[in-house]
Amino acid sequence: MEEFTAPGPTRDTGSVIDGYVNEFNSHDEELYPQDIANKMAADWMKREVPFFECADRLLERVYYFRWWVFRKHITSTPEGRIISEFLPNVYWAGPYNSINCASGHHIAEARWLRDGKDLVRSYVNFWFRGPGDELSYSSWVIDAVMRYAEIRDDRDFAIGLLDEFVRFYHTVEECNMTRYGLFWSYDDRDAMEDSISGSGLRPTLNSYMVGNARAIARIAGWAGRDDLVEEYRAKASELIRLMQSELWDDEGRFFKVLPLDDKDGVLDAIEFADVDPMRNVREEIGYIPWAFNVADARNEDAWRFLADPEHFAGAAGIRTAEICHPRYMNRDSAHECQWNGPCWPYATTQTLNSMIAEIRSGRNGVTADDFMRELRRYAAIHTRQTAEGDIVDWIDEDLDADTGVWISRDQLEAWGWREDKGGYERGKDYNHSAFCDLIISGLAGVRVEDESTSSMLIVEPLAVEHAMPYWRLLGLPVGDTTIDIYYDQIGDRYGHGRGLTVILDGVVYHDEASAPCVRAAL
């Protein structure tokens, strides 16, 4: 049974944000300020961030902590505002310390800011029309832009970039497509250094390119480009067919990597039974296909491994490789960032997004309770114990999935914060994952879908009844307006009765069902 904060007097929104920011600022060592310094954080958050309150103070605290961290990474450049990953300069970054690896996560978060349109437009233009290297790491950036455009009714922006998106897709095909019809990727360029499976035909880039192809088709539909619609729907369908036939291990009940060390090479094995056992492994990336609607009912067995302590369920977080593999957490490499078992917030975000997609599909692989369990476990890793024994709010690179200790930070500190590794506290406030979007699109269940004559706002929360007795989300930008959402299991907290209430342009929508859902035309 979860412990919740009992209902009390309605809290003043500004005071709530001030209280959290004052705490975060008080124990922060502000090392690399950019556009919005700590002293400006409270005013910025009250202006930009949708207000969130819930009965679970851990989720609420981390929601505000992650926005407090996110604003540190908004930086102005001669090419416009961008969103950074590291705060200190690192040599492997591109212009203005830019890294495209987590661009999909960045866009997913930024779309919910009230000034999110301008920020997302500037950031995306940097990658596609500016000096940013969007090909440096594999990404699902076109899918992220399409989802942003749906939420914020900014389809014209996406349409304006359609030709650039097509060129991007063709370039990835030229650089990464193999004789097998699937994309090859080097695990390091998937941002997943020193994985057990290594390079090959991976569920990562192939899933991302399904998402990107479908996004191009959707945007082309908005633009009336029927030729592109058909072409890119066909590309997505063929990738899905090949992923199901080649990357799904029917015996292991999981999407896996077919190892291939060179893009132009020949596979040593085309059946997983023949793959080198030292590289044949279930890894957390096997859940990525769900986020891009690659998986279907035949793949549902894979979810039984997520909560199993003999596979992915660490005491503190989700492991990136199953603990039963002999190379789990093998330190053959001296690299401080490894993907052979540690919990990575980047991957946890992807898995939680896949859980949302599976639940929305109506299949039975996971439930809303499973999602809320993993969301809470994810929230709980956002701390660090200092040398003085204090527990402080924290987000960094990777951590031990059982102890919760930040692995890369400990290694970098032991090396004396080497400049060639990024210097002092390189990973502090690392902006490589998402959290607030999981609250909004998962816990609160907000999405927008195209219908024949209009866009439809759908609010279908995963946090209802015993999962969360009350919560509210206010001033959430959707389309060209903002909405307020209230959930109250009993009906005595917010003055809107029991169940789910959505207020859109002064119109009140209400649903008291045990699994409520509100639909409203935008």
pLDDT for 1 equals 33
Alpha helices in 224-318 (DSSP H): 226-242, 288-291
Examine residue 314 and state whether it is found in any structural domain, yes or no. no
Examine residue 311 and state whether it is found in any structural domain, yes or no. no
**Residue range 396-405: mean pLDDT, rounded:** 97
> Tens digits of per-residue pLDDT, 510-521?
999 999 999 999
> Tens digits of per-residue pLDDT, 425-464?
999 999 999 999 999 999 999 999 987 677 999 999 999 9
Q: Which of 278, 408, 284 has the alpha carbon at shortest distance from 334?
A: 408
Examine residue 432 and state whether it is found in any structural domain, yes or no. no
Rounded CA Rg of the chain: 22
| Distance between CA atoms of residues 123 and 464, nearest Å | 35
> Tens digits of per-residue pLDDT, 233-258?
999 999 999 999 999 999 999 999 99
Domain boundary among 280, 305, 330: 305
> Tens digits of per-residue pLDDT, 177-216?
999 999 999 999 999 999 999 999 999 999 999 999 999 9
- Name residue, tokens 């102890």: 403
pLDDT for 127 equals 98
pLDDT for 334 equals 80
> Tens digits of per-residue pLDDT, 276-295?
999 999 999 999 999 999 99
Domain limits for position 478 = 445-522
pLDDT for 237 equals 98
Return phi, psi of residue 148, to 5°.
-60, -45
Q: What angle do CA 237, 239, 242 make, to 5 degrees?
A: 110
Examine residue 492 and state whether it is found in any structural domain, yes or no. yes
Q: Which of 382, 370, 391 has the alpha carbon at shortest distance from 304?
A: 370
| Distance between CA atoms of residues 7 and 21, nearest Å | 23
Same domain, 153 and 301: yes
Q: Which of 494, 500, 504, 497 has the alpha carbon at shortest distance from 516?
A: 500
- Name residue, tokens 């015993």: 466
Q: State the pTM of this model.
A: 0.97
> What CATH number did the domain enclosing 281 receive?
1.50.10.10
- Counting Cα atoms < 13 Å in the Cβ hemisphere of 451 gives 12
And the tokens for 339?
Answer: 């993907």
Q: What is the mean pLDDT of the chain?
A: 96
| Distance between CA atoms of residues 492 and 499, nearest Å | 11
Q: Which of 318, 320, 341 has the alpha carbon at shortest distance from 329?
A: 341
Return phi, psi of residue 44, to 5°.
-60, -45
Domain boundary among 283, 305, 327: 305
Examine residue 315 and state whether it is found in any structural domain, yes or no. no
- Counting Cα atoms < 13 Å in the Cβ hemisphere of 306 gives 23
- Total count of domains within the chain: 2
Query: What spatial distance separates the first Cα and last Cα of the chain, rounded to whole Å?
Result: 38
Lowest mean per-residue pLDDT among 104-108, 315-319, 448-452: 448-452
Examine residue 299 and state whether it is found in any structural domain, yes or no. yes
For residues 452 and 102, the model is more confident at: 102
pLDDT of 274 higher than 80: yes
Examine residue 244 and state whether it is found in any structural domain, yes or no. yes
pLDDT for 454 equals 79
**Residue range 46-54: mean pLDDT, rounded:** 98
| Distance between CA atoms of residues 372 and 378, nearest Å | 10
Domain boundary among 305, 328, 353: 305
pLDDT band at 59 (very low <50, low <70, confident <90, very high): very high
> Tens digits of per-residue pLDDT, 334-362?
889 999 999 999 999 999 999 999 999 99
pLDDT of 333 higher than 90: no
Examine residue 482 and state whether it is found in any structural domain, yes or no. yes
**Dihedral over Cα of 84, 85, 86, 91: its sign:** negative
pLDDT for 498 equals 96
Helix (H) or strand (E) holding 504: strand 499-504
pLDDT for 468 equals 94
Q: Which of 460, 462, 475 has the alpha carbon at shortest distance from 517?
A: 460
**Dihedral over Cα of 192, 196, 197, 198: its sign:** positive
